[in-house]
């Protein structure tokens, strides 16, 4: 395993440069949620040059559709969803200033190249540990696309959100390297 690094959003190029695959990241600050349906809408806005409901410069997007919050909870269980479904949208979003995405599973070549080109990272969170991850989310509010229910865009304030650098800005790929190391 790599180093343990604490990061605060929004992220800068310098933040990104110090990360390498395998590093454990504890992320704090504001992050945005978004998955399939929200990405479709964000992408359409970006393509036509219209303003986005989020500030994308230095932003972190977490691919998640949380469960509803029980009374006295700020959010329900909230683990990552599979990232490859967002691959078609991600490079263009990095071009526009997005710095990191959080999800599960590997990314395609276009996304990995865009991380190098625009200095970004892909962070892997553990799928299916959604009650545990929700403990690091301190507040949640819907800021766009309420009609999408679980898929609406939420602004989350997180504290020490646990994730691992899976793709860094130098072309490193933890999925590839991890499998190589343990394949028999």
Partner 1 sequence: MREVNTKEIVDVVARLCMDANYNLPEDVLDTIKKAKEKEDSPTGKAILDEIIENNRIAREEKLAICQDTGFALFFVELGQDVHIIDGNFQDAINEGVKKGYQDGYLRKSIVNDPVLLRVNTKDNTPAIIYTDIVPGDKLKIIFCPKGGGAENMAEVQMLTAAHGIEGVKKFVVERVRKSGGNPCPPVVVGVGIGGTFERCAMLAKQALLREPLGAPNPDPKFAEVEQELLEEINKLGIGPMGLGGRTTALAVHIETYPCHIATMPVAVNLNCHVARHKSAVI
Q: Which SS3 state, helix, strand or coil, does residue 30 take?
A: strand
Alpha helices in the chain (DSSP H): 13-17, 36-47, 90-95, 109-118, 130-134, 174-182
Choosing from 127, 135, 145, 155, the residue that interacts with ligand SF4 (CB under 6 A) is 127
- In whole angstroms, how close is the CB of 130 to ligand SF4 at the nearest point? 7
Taking CB under 8 A as the criterion, the residue among 39, 94, 99, 104 binding partner 1 is 104
Cβ-closest residue to ligand SF4? 128
Q: Counting contacts by CB under 6 A, is residue 58 touching ligand SF4?
A: no
Q: Which of 12, 55, 108, 177 binds partner 1 (CB under 8 A)?
A: 177
User: Given candidates 68, 128, 149, 178, which one binds ligand SF4 under the rule CB under 6 A?
Assistant: 128
Q: Of ligand SF4, partner 1, none, which one does residue 162 interact with (CB within 5 to 8 Å by kind)?
A: partner 1
Burial class (CB in 10 A: 0-12, 13-18, 19+), 66: buried
* Bond preceding residue 13 cis, omega within 30 of 0: no
Distance from the Cα of residue 88 to its chain's centroid: 15
Query: Which residues 6+ apart lie within 8 Å of 36 measured at CB?
Result: 85, 86, 151
Catalytic machinery residues: 39
Binding mask 79-98 for ligand SF4 (x = CB under 6 A): x-------------------
Question: In whole angstroms, what is the distance from residue 30 CA to residue 48 CA?
Answer: 26
Nearest-angstrom CA–CA distance, 139 and 131: 15
- Which of 64, 98, 111, 156 is in the footprint of partner 1 by CB under 8 A? 64
Binding positions for ligand SF4, rule: CB under 6 A: 79, 127-128
Site residues for partner 1 per CB under 8 A: 1, 22, 37, 64-70, 76-79, 81-82, 84, 104-106, 124, 126-135, 148-151, 162, 164, 166, 174-175, 177-184
């Amino acid at each position: 395993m790599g180093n343990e690094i604490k990061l605060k959003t929004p992220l800068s190029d310098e933040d990104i440069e110090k990360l390498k695959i395998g590093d454990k990241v504890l992320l704090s600050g504001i992050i945005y949620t978004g998955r399939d349906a929200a990405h479709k809408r964000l992408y359409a806005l970006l393509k036509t040059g219209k303003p986005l409901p989020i500030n994308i410069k230095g932003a972190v997007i977490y691919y998640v559709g949380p469960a509803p919050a029980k009374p006295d909870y700020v959010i329900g269980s909230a683990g990552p969803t599979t990232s490859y479904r967002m691959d078609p949208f991600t490079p263009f979003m990095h071009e526009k200033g997005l710095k990191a995405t959080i999800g599960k599973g590997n990314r395609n070549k276009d996304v990995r190249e865009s991380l190098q080109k625009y200095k970004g990272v892909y962070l892997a969170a553990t799928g299916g540990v959604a009650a545990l991850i929700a403990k690091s989310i301190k507040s949640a509010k819907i800021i766009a696309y309420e009609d999408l229910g679980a898929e609406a865009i939420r602004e989350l304030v997180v504290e020490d959100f646990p994730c691992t650098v899976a793709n860094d800005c130098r072309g490193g790929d933890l999925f590839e390297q991890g499998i190589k190391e343990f394949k028999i």
